[in-house]
Amino acid sequence: MGTRAPAYDMFTKIHKSDGLPYGAMTIYIAQSIVDQFPKGIEAREELAPLLTTYAKPKVASGRERIIVAAADYDEARLLEYPMAAPVAKITRIMCNTKDVAVYIGHFTYRGDRFGIEREPAAYVKRSWNGLRTFDNVGRHILP
């Protein structure tokens, strides 16, 4: 999805609740956008919402894929979670109006701390357009 930006800045974050890590993420944002960020804002704010203010041209499309897998050694270490325990892995890509991938995020969440809530009527309004199901290695399995 999208073409590559000339350069990206990489951010790694560990999110915690009550001192316990629940999410590890690596996010790449086009350097041209990061160059516009106020100094230190990436440490104080979530990164995706910053695109609304600083991405020019604006974000126009995106895709997100969620799979359930077993935690590998590094994920287990970062999340203080048993190796091979279930984790949710999310890959999120957002592109601007010129179809350049300006945001690429890889997120891993502990299975015992992950939940998702969505508005299903949004899918009905779009007639389920674009919604597909994949197996854990990326093969399309349902229409």
pLDDT in tens, the chain (143 residues): 789 999 999 999 999 999 999 999 999 999 999 999 999 999 899 899 999 899 999 999 999 999 999 999 999 999 999 999 999 999 999 999 999 999 999 999 999 999 887 777 665 555 445 555 444 455 444 44
- What's the CA gap between 24 and 110, in Å, rounded? 9
- Secondary structure of residue 46 in the 3-state scheme: coil
pLDDT (0 to 100) of residue 124: 55
Question: Does residue 139 contact residue 67 with C-beta atoms inside 8 Å?
Answer: no
Question: Does residue 111 contact residue 86 with C-beta atoms inside 8 Å?
Answer: yes
Question: What's the predicted TM-score (pTM) here?
Answer: 0.81
pLDDT (0 to 100) of residue 25: 96
- Secondary structure of residue 116 in the 3-state scheme: coil
Torsion from C-alpha of 128, 131, 132, 137, nearest 10 degrees: -160
Q: How many secondary structure helices (H) and strands (E) does the chain include?
A: 5, 8
The letter for the amino acid at 118 is R
∠ CA 138-72-113 to the nearest 5 degrees? 85
DSSP bridge pairs for 55: none
pLDDT (0 to 100) of residue 22: 95
